[in-house]
Chains A and B, each alone.
Chain A
Amino acid sequence: MTEENDKLKRLLNTIQIPEPNEEARKGALNAAVAEFEQLKKAEEEKVEGFSWLRRRTDKTLRRGPVMSKQFVIAVGTVFSIFLMVMVMMPHFVSYPNQYSYLRRLFSPRVEEKSKEGLVDSLNSFIIKYGGSSQSTAFERGWRDQTYAARDRFEAATPNPVKKTSEEPVSTFSIDVDTASYAFVRRALNNGTLPQKNAVRIEELINYFDYDYPLPEDRSIPFKPTVAVFPTPWNPDTKLLHIGIKGFDIVAQKRPKSNLVFLIDVSGSMEDRDKLPLLKNAFRMLVETLDPEDSVAMVVYAGAAGTVLEPVKAKEKGKILAALERLSAGGSTAGGEGIRQAYALAEANFDPDGVNRVILATDGDFNVGIRDPEELKGFVERKRKTGIFLTVLGFGQGNYNDALMQKLAQNGNGVAAYIDSLNEARKVLVDEAHANLFTIAKDVKIQIEFNPAKITEYRLIGYETRLLRREDFNNDLVDAGDVGAGHSVTALYEITPTGSTAKLIDDLRYGKPETAGKENVEEKSGEYAFLKIRYKLPESKDSLLLTRAVDKKSEYQSLASAPDEVRFASAVAAFGQLLRGDSHVKDFTYNDVIKIAESVRGKDRFGYRSEFMNLVRLAKTARAMGDN
């Protein structure tokens, strides 16, 4: 008998149990903690109403059973009086004042309740976290491609080729957004080519981290590096590459953060690649915060409401519970939400810290201020208070890219598009420093080409970021910001004088190109002169960095150019191919792969390998289009 039992025991324990998924584990723990917090909060609310009663109960019960008997009698008496009053209540109806007085007396929470009604209505959707399968479900692919056509992008025509003799100066604002890349990736993973306007080449290029040299001295936030090398897609032109990389904030020196999450919970957010993904993303962000960082949460749907007053990040449970409670429903009063979020950020403003509103939405503001210009104006005014804005785009279907871009650009902010948990990790965890801590703001680049060396030039990408020449020195004109560790890259395709690739004919009546010759000759070795203006995060006045682009930064062949530079050129070519630009001529996706393959670099997170996959996907997507 015992032998049999032992065998049974042994056999039952022979089973090999697979390790649980780490994400499932974390999700389960967080869900339980959220539930715990939720119940605690409900309990506290209940107690508040009866605090006197509870205090009595506690005290009395502790004194022992005899007292508790007395207590029961006391409570019984109180209740019978209460009942009597209730019964008599209708008699007071004829005296409305007395009635309302009594009502207030006996249910002091009624009014409070109605005040909270707004929040309650937002909270009414309390959903039970539906299981760990959720965390991976949204990564399983996207449905309904027909949706994609409703996503809104601002139209942008590629920058035209400029003639140096006519317009030697080019000015633009930097752009560290990456939304476009994620959107392109999503489309390609669906087997379709992205809409042309969804492809912003500079965002594709800046999606990747480049190892540009850092400044030796912290007093300057970054150092520009320049390179001139043969254009991969055109043997007769060259590429001028400008790269800057901001220093990274050392973890200990990291300032405190005052973050306000502004979360869209309107009906359109209920898709699994929106709100559920957003929750997961924010759960990850919460993990990376310092205990003293402060977090608040505002949601907006039909109405806007604060679901979490500012708390310290160490009270993780509260934050997670508030996140859990979110669910989607109603139309979108984004404007009001933004107002409340900024108000909270202002109330909790930390002059030495980072103050930031993080807006997560599919960009569909359909109630309240819906005029993009008005919203833009609001965000722009708030920028001056020192509160920065991060815009995280989610989902597809009615994604309003144009508005998101506008908000981020005008609110001293960053815009990113979150299409998967991986992307959330990149934006919120791996690059948290870059996206949360600004080291330089209003960074503008101006470059003056030397007509003696270059006849024509063309800026690749940055179509939505062009500035007027005079804006460069005008500190009131807003521009992009650089976060800790961010790298920014810009590429110009330049046509050297005498090259056969020249596209624009000389003017018949124009001056000969010898204008100002004596001056030009002096600096004849230079291709161009680079100027960068930036402001330190708290400063109103800009600082200037300059550097000449000359022979020293030139590489005779593509192969001899630095890896980072070559990779950037591959991404630029890819973007232009996706847009169907004429400048890339007979360059193909295969050529892009060839360059990218040779320069994958460290690729710590596998982003560059992913890029190669996307190029391959684009090849087949294109083939489908041709049929």
Chain B
Amino acid sequence: MDNYSDIELVELSVDGDTEAFEYLIKRHYMAVYKVSYKWCGVKEDAEDITQEVLIKLAQKLKTFGRKSSFKTWLYRIIINTAKDYHRKHATKRVYETAFAAERSTDNPGSQEDEHIDAARLYKALEKLPEKQKTAVLLVFSEGLTHNEAARVLRCTEATVSWRIFQAKKRLKKSLEHEI
């Protein structure tokens, strides 16, 4: 199964191959979990979101258009699930575990600063409109191009660029404001 590409696995799954499907979700579990965690900042919520994503994957396999890339498609499911989850549970996000653990270790000054900066950045990210936050996470954290992000979010590339631009402006402002 190792040699199969994601798309091949999807095709096998669509034909009813349970093993292929299981392999596919095992392969992507961590990736989905990581994106979910970055989105929500709570381990348990990220686990729940990941589970929902995997279930949705089972439900939506048939709608996977072979022209689009699997990655794009998966990101779209994750983002939508995370948004729904947030709406449903209205959880307050805390990235405590992520940063607390880091800070306790004796890091050299500059690196420690980075962590504090990162923590503040994630907090600032929280205050952004959801669309801008999503764009920022996809582009900067996941490393998607504006074009790819546009396909995930089903909007034009220009819209993504605009959201990123707006987001950066706001982030700068709120970070400066804090200092």
B-binding residues in A (CB < 8 A): 4-5, 8-18, 20-21, 24-25, 27-29, 31-33, 35-37, 39-40, 43, 128-129, 131-133, 315-317
Distance (whole angstroms) from the CB of B41 to the closest CB of chain A: 9
Q: Across the interface, which residues of A come within 8 angstroms of B121, CB to CB? A: 8, 11-12
* B140 close to A16 (CB less than 8 A): no
Q: Across the interface, which residues of A come within 8 angstroms of B52, CB to CB? A: 131
Knowing A17-B34, A20-B33, A39-B59, the reply to whether A11 touches B118 (Cβ < 8 A) is yes
Residue of A8, A16, A28, A33 touching B98 (CB-CB under 8 A):
A16
Asked if B70 is an interface residue, CB under 8 A from chain A, the answer is no
Provide a sorted-by-A list of 22 A–B residue pairs whose CB atoms are within 8 angstroms: A12-B141, A14-B118, A15-B37, A15-B98, A15-B122, A17-B98, A18-B37, A18-B97, A18-B98, A20-B50, A21-B43, A24-B44, A28-B50, A29-B54, A31-B54, A32-B51, A32-B57, A32-B58, A35-B55, A39-B59, A132-B48, A133-B48
* A31 close to B51 (CB less than 8 A): yes
Q: Across the interface, which residues of A come within 8 angstroms of B48, CB to CB? A: 131-133
Q: Across the interface, which residues of B come within 8 angstroms of A27, CB to CB? A: 51
A-binding residues in B (CB < 8 A): 13, 16, 18, 21-22, 25-26, 29-30, 33-34, 37-38, 43-44, 46-48, 50-52, 54-55, 57-59, 61, 95, 97-99, 101-102, 114-115, 117-118, 121-122, 136-137, 140-141, 143, 168, 171
Residue in A25, A33, A36, A131 with the greatest tally of chain B CB atoms within 10 Å: A36
Q: Across the interface, which residues of B come within 8 angstroms of A33, CB to CB? A: 18, 21-22, 25, 58
The residue in chain B whose Cβ has the minimal distance to the Cβ of A4 is B168
Distance (whole angstroms) from the CB of A236 to the closest CB of chain B: 58
7 further A-B pairs in the complex, CB-CB below 8 A; given A12-B38, A20-B47, A29-B29? A11-B117, A12-B121, A15-B122, A17-B38, A18-B97, A29-B25, A36-B61
* A24 close to B122 (CB less than 8 A): no
Q: Measured between alpha carbons, how far is A12 from B115 in the docked complex, in Å?
A: 10
Q: Across the interface, which residues of A come within 8 angstroms of B98, CB to CB? A: 15-18
Distance (whole angstroms) from the CB of B123 to the closest CB of chain A: 12
Q: Across the interface, which residues of B come within 8 angstroms of A13, CB to CB? A: 141
Q: Measured between alpha carbons, how far is A25 from B46 in the docked complex, in Å?
A: 11
Knowing A12-B121, A16-B101, A40-B16, the reply to whether A132 touches B54 (Cβ < 8 A) is no
* A16 close to B102 (CB less than 8 A): yes
Distance (whole angstroms) from the CB of B152 to the closest CB of chain A: 17
Q: Across the interface, which residues of B come within 8 angstroms of A39, CB to CB? A: 58-59
The residue in chain A whose Cβ has the minimal distance to the Cβ of B118 is A14
* B55 close to A31 (CB less than 8 A): yes
Q: Across the interface, which residues of B come within 8 angstroms of A35, CB to CB? A: 55, 58-59
Knowing A16-B98, A35-B59, the reply to whether A21 touches B117 (Cβ < 8 A) is no
Q: Measured between alpha carbons, how far is A43 from B38 in the docked complex, in Å?
A: 36
Q: Across the interface, which residues of B come within 8 angstroms of A31, CB to CB? A: 51, 54-55
Q: Across the interface, which residues of A come within 8 angstroms of B115, CB to CB? A: 14
Q: Across the interface, which residues of B come within 8 angstroms of A29, CB to CB? A: 22, 25-26, 29, 54
Q: Across the interface, which residues of A come within 8 angstroms of B47, CB to CB? A: 20-21, 24-25, 28, 132
* B54 close to A17 (CB less than 8 A): no
Q: Measured between alpha carbons, how far is A106 from B11 in the docked complex, in Å?
A: 34
Distance (whole angstroms) from the CB of A322 to the closest CB of chain B: 13
Q: Across the interface, which residues of B come within 8 angstroms of A16, CB to CB? A: 98-99, 101-102
Q: Across the interface, which residues of B come within 8 angstroms of A37, CB to CB? A: 18
* B59 close to A15 (CB less than 8 A): no
Q: Across the interface, which residues of A come within 8 angstroms of B26, CB to CB? A: 29
Q: Measured between alpha carbons, how far is A131 from B50 in the docked complex, in Å?
A: 10
Q: Across the interface, which residues of B come within 8 angstroms of A11, CB to CB? A: 114, 117-118, 121
* B29 close to A25 (CB less than 8 A): yes
* B51 close to A317 (CB less than 8 A): no
Q: Across the interface, which residues of A come within 8 angstroms of B114, CB to CB? A: 10-11, 14
* A15 close to B58 (CB less than 8 A): no
Q: Across the interface, which residues of A come within 8 angstroms of B57, CB to CB? A: 32
* B51 close to A132 (CB less than 8 A): yes
Q: Measured between alpha carbons, how far is A579 from B141 in the docked complex, in Å?
A: 62
Distance (whole angstroms) from the CB of B49 to the closest CB of chain A: 9
Distance (whole angstroms) from the CB of B18 to the closest CB of chain A: 4
The residue in chain A whose Cβ has the minimal distance to the Cβ of B137 is A12
Q: Across the interface, which residues of B come within 8 angstroms of A25, CB to CB? A: 29, 47
Q: Across the interface, which residues of B come within 8 angstroms of A317, CB to CB? A: 18, 22
Q: Across the interface, which residues of B come within 8 angstroms of A21, CB to CB? A: 43, 47
Q: Across the interface, which residues of B come within 8 angstroms of A36, CB to CB? A: 13, 18, 21, 58, 61
Knowing A11-B118, A40-B18, the reply to whether A20 touches B140 (Cβ < 8 A) is no
Q: Measured between alpha carbons, how far is A315 from B22 in the docked complex, in Å?
A: 12
* B168 close to A8 (CB less than 8 A): yes
The residue in chain A whose Cβ has the minimal distance to the Cβ of B172 is A4
Q: Measured between alpha carbons, how far is A316 from B21 in the docked complex, in Å?
A: 13
Q: Measured between alpha carbons, how far is A494 from B164 in the docked complex, in Å?
A: 85
The residue in chain A whose Cβ has the minimal distance to the Cβ of B35 is A17
